[in-house]
Every structure is written in structure tokens, then in C-alpha cells.
Amino acid sequence: MTARYIGLFAALFALIVFVGVMMGTPFTVRLMVEAFAFALIAMGLNIQWGFGGLFNFGILGMLMVGGFAVTFISFPVNMAFWESEGPMLLGRSAIAAAIGAVLIFFAHRVQRFGIRGKWRGAVIVVAWFAAYVIFRTQMDPAANTITSTAGWVGGLGLPVILGWAFGGVLAGLIGFLVGKVSLGLRADYLAIATIGIAEILRAVIRNMEWLTRGTLTVSPIPWPVPNPQYYQELGVSISDSFVYARGGFLALVVLIVIAGLFLIHRAYQGPWGRMMRAIRDNHISAASMGKDVTGRQLEIFIFGSVLMGIGGAILVSFVGIFDPSSYQPINHTFIIWVMLIVGGAGNNFGALFGGLFIYIVWMLSEQLATGLFGAVSSWSSSMGWGEIPDIETRAVQMRIFVLGLVVTIALRFAPKGLLPEHISRKD
């Protein structure tokens, strides 16, 4: 295993150097920032699936939550909103939501007053309907007023690092709610439930224009380190300014990934990790030994969601724009699963390796396909057969083909991943 670790990470380092030589330093540094962010997300999925055996196909929703969180925290304050009636109307909406919550709370406890069976269910339905009506009567005017007078709420203008932390906290809270609802389901039904919840989150974020601007997008999102414009004002050339700025961003992200890797690995090697593996391998036996199976599964679901939220916040900060319509399952769910499958589920270093390697392959496949199609198109044109149409579109589609090919080869020759889980046992 040690030789495999050294060999694979050495090969990955050689690949990164090759990309730097061929594509240039600015592109390579940008590639590595995004790759490490995706590696952090893959580590979060590894906690859920590799440690706990929980199928989470709602990764996209957690990334959107993280992206929204950093936007809300770090984007400059919109004074037009604070000087309008928007805050007062939102306060009324919050009071209406609290009233609705109280109605629902007492409706679920009407059996104490002798109301049981179907009548209790009817009371709960009526309470939810009444809470919905009360809330919407206040929320709809507030949303219309905000969008018409200020455009949207805006941000808080706080440091970006706080936005990353808030992204993790908010995603963890969403993970708690999702886990409470769906962790009692079997593996396949859990996967379906998380897909549905992710689509609900995407629809909500896209349509809450008063809070997220919806499809209008938000930019520019501030950086936690000096951006290229800062270095250009100091007289640094444009090319070098991107290298310096992205290099600082990369250093910060690498520190976060290393810290997360260290903490997760320590937990995995300790009693907590042994308990999680026992629950994953045989939850019935673990429950018979007195372990709170559902509670521990909820715990790891929250931990994994926190890392996903932080990773989603990092990606939005780096690209400098929050666009809810840009989130797609192939780019923000399926590729994360490929990273973990190829890297090795249950192995923290496998998740790290898979995240870096697969994202590099994902990005380079489009560049290589464009060059290949261009060469073939020139040759076919010289032969009188005509050029290949829509080369750029076809090159983008080739990324999915290459990804599928990588998964097929990995499952054929390394079904447990390139760096599979290795559990040391003491006799």
C-alpha cells in the first residue's frame, strides 16, 4: 500500500507539472484551486458513503447552499434594501412564520386533548394549511416590494472566510433536516429521496429572487485573498497578477483541505471510526451492541454535508459569481461520485487523489478533444470530405465520454478504487 500511495501521488504530481508546462501557470493554478475544492467535497461524500454507507445523491443541493451562504455573507451591503420597507416586511414575515410554527407544534400534540386517529390527522393538515396561508399573506408582499424597490436583499459585507464557515454550518443544518426525514429509508430509497430534496433546494434558490437574485446571478463575489486587480494596481503584469492571486487562493484552500484531512483521518483511526465502520458493515449487530445507529448515521451525514457546503462556497468565491442556473447534476453530483469510486471509498487519501485526478481529467478532456477534432477536421477538409461541425460543442460532450471510460476502466481493474480502504488490525 505504501508503494501504491507513493506511485500514484508521484504520477499525479507529474501530471500537474505536465499540465503546467503545456497549458501555462495561470491555467494550472486555477485548475488546482478548483480541483482541491472538489477534493474537499469528495472527502465529505467519503464520510457519508465510505464511512457510513449512506447513498447521498443530493450533493448538488449542498453545493448550492454553500454558494448562497458565501454570497449572502460576503457580498457588499445593498443600502437600497435597508433604506426601504423591506426589513420591516421581512420582520412581519418572520412573525407570521413563527405563528405558523406554533400552530403546527400544537397540532401535533392534540392527542393530549383527546383528539386521536383520523381527527388528529385532519387537525394537522388544517394547521399546515393555515400556517402556509398566514406566511404567504406576509411573504408575497415583502418579496414583491423588495424586488421592485431594491432588486434583492444583498449581502452583509463580512469577511469571505466567515462566508465559507457559514456555508458549512448552513449545509450542515440542511443535512440535519434531510437526515431526520430520510435516514430511515433503505439505501436505494435514500438515494431517490436525496435527489428529490436536491431538486427542491435548487428550485427554491432559483426562484427566491428577493434573496438570491435567482437567474440574474450575483457578481463579483469577493476573494479572501488579494485578487488580480490588486496586484495590477501595484504594477504587476496581468499574467503574473493572476498567478500571484490564484496562488494565494490555492494556498488557503490547500490549508483547509489538509486540516480537514488531518481531522477526518484522526477520527477514522480512533474509536469513532471503528464504530462507524461497524455500523456500515452490519447495523443490526451494531444496534444489538447498544449503538445508536440512526443517531450516528445522522452525525456523519451532517459532517459530510458541512464539507460539501464549504467546498461549494469556495468554488463560488473563486469564480466570483453565483449563478443558480449553472448547477447541473452531471457537474455537481455525478462527478463527485466518480471521484470517490475511482479514488477509493473509505480511504481519505483515496478521496483526495480521486478528487484531484478526476477533475484534472474532466477539464483536460475538453481541451484534448478540441485539438483532436480540429486536426481531424482539417484532414477531412483537405480530403474534400468537409469540416466537422460544432467542434466546441462536441468537445464538451466528450468530457462525459472520457469520464465514463475512466469509471469503466477503474471498475474493471480496481473495483475498490485506486487507493482502497485499508484497515490495520492488531493480533
- For 317-345, the DSSP string reads HHHT-B-GGG--HIIIIIHHHHHHHHH-T
Chain segment 82-130, per-residue pLDDT in tens: 999 999 999 999 999 999 999 999 998 888 878 888 888 899 999 999 9
What pLDDT sits at residue 282? 83
Write the burial class of residue 265 (CB in 10 Å: 0-12 exposed, 13-18 middle, 19+ buried): middle
Burial 61-79 (b: 16+ CB within 10 A, else e): bbbbbbbbbbbbbbbeebe
What pLDDT sits at residue 379? 79
Residue 77 CA to residue 70 CA, distance in Å, equals 13
What pLDDT sits at residue 425? 60
What pLDDT sits at residue 189? 85
| pTM confidence score | 0.92
- Count Cβ atoms below 10 Å from residue 329 Cβ, excluding itself: 16
Residues of the chain below pLDDT 50 = 427
Residue 94 CA to residue 135 CA, distance in Å, equals 8
